[in-house]
């Protein structure tokens, strides 16, 4: 176990692991995406109240969940990096930011498109929507901060602190619909309770969430590889890798 952990913590091994894992995450994600789309758009019945409009749930809930999952990953790896001064942890954190920003953008836009026919408005300054918008700005702030600080160590520390402090926003997003009066409906899925939606509507949602999760991990592997190469550019193994391999690998 520890042997495996130490091995993974060496940059060349970490890089190779990411390279090997990437296609095993990416292609199953695409297959699940196709199944989930067919399930959500064709197999699932129309909703009693929202008709076919509710089908936006199959792209809205997965992106919203991943927007938060990616942030927690970024905050936890930043904390590990800050506490144990682990460079590889910062590689993961830095790779999370653009992925999380993309999922948050998707969550906000699909939410606005869903809000228009159901609530009669694209946007309200509601606790759930506002805290999700703050999440988007946290990701942007993290990326701008990294870009502004030329020295990697300094960028890692400053952006790491921002990521850790910003994690307070995650429970606010999650509980906003319970703490305050919100236009947004409460959670459809919960780990502890039976889901609030019917089985034939539920399975495509679970498949889509899994597809998005695998896609996020595949994207993370690509991002990690770029981060590791950049930081290890003077190491001998990177030189050998660049010399011996062509465009691939």
Partner 1 sequence: MNEFFAMGGYGTYVWSAYSISFVVLAATVWFARRNLANTRERLKRQRLSKQDRTP
For residues 54 to 73, the per-residue mask of contacts with partner 1, x marking binding by CB under 8 A and - elsewhere, is: -xx--xx--x----------
Does residue 110 contact residue 188 with C-beta atoms inside 8 Å?
no
Is 43 a residue that touches partner 1 (CB under 8 A)? no
Closest approach of Cβ 5 to partner 1, in Å?
Answer: 25
DSSP annotation of 40: I
What distances in angstroms separate CA 194 from CA 64, 120, 185, 187, one per listed residue?
A: 20, 30, 16, 11
User: Residue 219 is encoded by which pair of tokens?
Assistant: 């994207």
Interface with partner 1, residue 226, by CB under 8 A:
yes
Contact 184, 128 (CB under 8 A): yes
Measured from the CB atom, the residue of 164 and 238 that comes closer to partner 1 is 238
Q: Under a CB-based contact definition with an 8 Å cutoff, are residues 247 and 26 in contact?
A: no
Q: Kindly tell me which residue out of 20, 23, 52, 196 binds partner 1, with binding defined by CB under 8 A.
A: 52
Stretch near partner 1 under the rule CB under 8 A, chosen from 8-16, 111-119, 123-131, 169-177: 111-119
Minimum CB–partner distance for residue 7 and partner 1 (Å): 23
Quick check: 240 binds partner 1 (CB under 8 A)?
Answer: no
Q: Which of 12, 98, 141, 195 contacts partner 1 by CB under 8 A?
A: 98
Largest CA distance in the chain: 63
The answer to whether 73 and 23 are in contact (CB under 8 A) is no
The DSSP secondary-structure symbol of 189 reads -
Task: Report, in this order, helix, strand and coil percent for the chain, each rounded to 5.
Answer: 80, 0, 20
Which CB sits closer to partner 1, 207 or 219?
Answer: 219
Q: Does 247 bind partner 1 (CB under 8 A)?
A: yes
Among 86, 87, 222, 237, binds partner 1 (CB under 8 A): 222
Give the H/E segment covering residue 89. Answer: helix 87-119
Chain residues binding partner 1 by CB under 8 A are 37, 41-42, 46, 51-53, 55-56, 59-60, 63, 98-99, 102, 105-106, 109-110, 113-114, 116-117, 215, 218-219, 222-223, 225-226, 229-230, 233, 238-239, 242-243, 247
């Amino acid at each position: 176990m520890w042997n495996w952990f130490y091995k993974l913590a060496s940059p060349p091994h970490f890089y190779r692991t990411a390279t090997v894992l990437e296609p095993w995450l990416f292609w199953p994600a695409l297959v699940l995406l196709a199944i989930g789309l067919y399930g959500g758009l064709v197999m699932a019945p129309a909703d009693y109240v929202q008709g076919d409009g509710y089908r936006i749930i199959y792209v809205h809930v997965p992106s919203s969940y991943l927007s938060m999952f990616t942030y927690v990953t970024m905050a936890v790896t930043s904390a590990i990096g800050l506490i144990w001064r682990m460079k590889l942890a910062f590689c993961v954190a830095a790779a999370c930011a653009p992925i999380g920003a993309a999922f948050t953008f998707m969550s906000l836009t699909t939410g606005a498109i869903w809000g228009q026919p159901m609530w009669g408005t694209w946007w309200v300054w509601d606790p759930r929507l506002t805290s999700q918008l703050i999440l988007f700005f946290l990701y942007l702030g993290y990326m701008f901060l990294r870009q502004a600080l030329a020295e990697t160590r300094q960028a890692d520390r400053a952006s790491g602190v921002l990521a850790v402090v910003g994690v307070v926003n995650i429970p606010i997003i999650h509980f906003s619909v319970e703490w305050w009066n919100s236009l947004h409906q409460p959670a459809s899925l919960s780990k502890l309770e039976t889901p609030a939606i019917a089985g034939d509507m539920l399975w495509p949602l679970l498949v889509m969430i899994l597809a998005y999760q695998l896609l996020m991990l595949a994207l993370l592997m690509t991002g990690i590889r770029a981060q590791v190469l950049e930081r290890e550019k003077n190491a001998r193994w990177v030189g050998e890798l660049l010399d011996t391999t062509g465009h691939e690998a």
